[in-house]
Every structure is written in structure tokens, then in C-alpha cells.
Amino acid sequence: MKYKSIILSIFLALLFVQCSEEGDKVIEVYPAPSWAFSSAGSAMEPDWQKPASNLYPTSMTAVLCLTPYLEADWAEGDKMAAFIGGECRGVADAIVRDGKPYYMLQIKADEGETGKVSFYYYSHKNTYEYSVPNALPYEVDGVYGTIDEPEYPGFEASGRYPVGMQVAFKVTGVDYIPSPDDKVAAFVGDDCRGVAVFDGDVFSMAVRGKMDGEAIDIRYYNQETQNYYVGKGAFRMKSGGTFGTAEEPETIALEWSEPAPSDIKALAWNGGTLIQEEGR
């Protein structure tokens, strides 16, 4: 049994390692990783129902839009609702004007209503129900936002990644000139928080976090060398902040690295092979 285990280990090692030679160097390589960011949850679409038209004698209106953070994930069929005291008092589908979704809610209540209005938004793309509890007091015939000046509830604060920032940077420490075929992503641990796009010699992306101050690592895969690089703690999350711009990008120094354990696991299932240069 002992010998069978040894033979199996050797077989697996040979299965996953692919070598090429450059002079007296042996270079082992990996295929490109499949990094992707997802803020998806697992919430079922809620069955929100408007109250019967004769149940409440008064109303107020609200015209709401999504912040850019959530509008990027908006999909047709996403709904908003208004609640007072745990009871649904209004539901709206989006009205799209010039490509932008608007939600016009008629919120119903009794004459002497003293409760506060809470807003809810369901995202089909993210399979997630966002909320802004106790957003404002109910006011008979009140108006909260207009088509020309809509309100933007902070739904993202209730999401999995409530903090967002924009980053733009160049990289140093890579053996070859970066190209659009390279893969670059932001990580906290093994949690992908954003994937970069390459324009000219600058990588840019939206990075999402759970709180301010999170240290963001940059993982880099160079297609030419089929090597991995990493920039540990390249920057920290700051809600609404920036780290460089397209015109004035920051510079992140990278170091060669073995693939992270999570990348090894993912690539092994796809027949991946280990990157390692002799002497490193």
C-alpha cells in the first residue's frame, strides 16, 4: 500500500507539471487564471404586493434612482418597495429615461401615520435584497425626489460589499512589458474584489470592500512569461476614494510569486500546471 501511494504521488506530480527549457533554465508554467468579482447573494425574488387601493386614504410620492455602484448591475425587472412598520405600502418597476432607471413610488398610509418609511430594492443580477431602513418620516402628500432631481438611497450599505473605490495604476517588477492579455485583479485574502482592464500602459478597475481600511493585494498574471506576480498591501480601501487616475496613475511594485493556494486548486481542476523557474 505504501508503494502504491508513492507511485500515485509521482503520477499526480507528472500530471500537473509542464516544463519548457530556455538554455539551462527549466521553466514550469500555468495557464491563465479565471479571476472574477461577484457580489451575488442567494435571495429569492420577493413577492411584494401593493396595498389595496381603498385600504389607506393618504399617500406620498418618492422618485428614486440607484447610485452608480448599483446601477452598473441593474437589470430589467428589478423592483423597489416602500414599507412602514414591516408592511408593504408601495411597489414600483423602473421607468427608463435616457438609459437610466427611475422608480416612482406611491406610498400609502393612514391620515395619522407616524411611522418611518423604509426602502427595499431587489437586484436580479446580484440575487440580493438591499434595504435602507427608516429612511424618512411619512408625510401626507409629501414629495421625496422628482424626475429632475431624484433621491439616491444608500442601498449599497446593506450589501455584501458596501465600500467602493476606483483605482488606476502602472506596474513595475514584471519581466515583460504588460499587455491587454495579462490578468490583473484585486484581492483580500482569496476573495476577489475587482478585475482590471488595460488601457495603454495603465490598469484600472472598481474595487469593492466590506469596510474602510482593508488591505488590498494585487495579483498579476503575465501571459508572455506565464508567471504570477503579487503586490502585497498595495493600497487600502476607502469608501468613494481613488488610488490614482487614468491621467496620473499610481505605481505598484510587484514581485514574482508562486500561485496562491486558491489559484492552484482552481487550476488543478482545469489541468493547470505549476509555474516555477529554477533557482527561484
pLDDT in tens, 210-221: 999 999 999 999
Asked if 96 and 102 touch (Cβ cutoff 8 Å), the reply is yes
Q: How many other CB atoms sit within 10 Å of the CB of residue 119?
A: 26
Rounded mean pLDDT of the chain? 86
The share of the chain scoring above pLDDT 70, in percent, equals: 84
Cα angle 209, 48, 99 (rounded to 5 degrees) comes to 60
pLDDT in tens, 95-154: 999 999 999 999 999 999 999 999 999 999 999 999 999 999 999 999 999 999 999 999
Distances (CA, A) of 49 to 79, 81, 232: 11, 9, 49
Which pLDDT score, from 0 to 100, does residue 262 have?
Answer: 80
Beta strands in the chain (DSSP E): 19-22, 25-28, 58-64, 79-84, 87-97, 100-109, 116-123, 128-137, 143-144, 163-172, 183-188, 191-195, 197-199, 202-209, 215-222, 227-236, 242-243, 250-253, 255-257, 276-277
| 3-class DSSP state of 11 | helix
Distance CA 280, CA 215 (A): 27
Residue 69, φ and ψ in degrees, nearest 5: -55, -45
| 3-class DSSP state of 69 | helix
pLDDT in tens, 29-44: 777 899 999 888 889 9
Tell me which residue of 213, 211, 174, 219 sits closest to 192, measured CA to CA: 219
**Secondary structure string (H, E, C) spanning 186-221:** EEECCEEEEECEEECCEEEEEEEECCCCCEEEEEEE
Sheet architecture: strand order including 276-277: 19-22, 25-28, 276-277
Tell me which residue of 42, 228, 232 sits closest to 122, measured CA to CA: 42
Number of H-type helices and E-type strands within the chain: 3, 20
pTM: 0.70
Sketch out the chain's domains with CATH numbers.
Answer: 15-38+161-277 (no CATH), 58-158 (2.60.40)
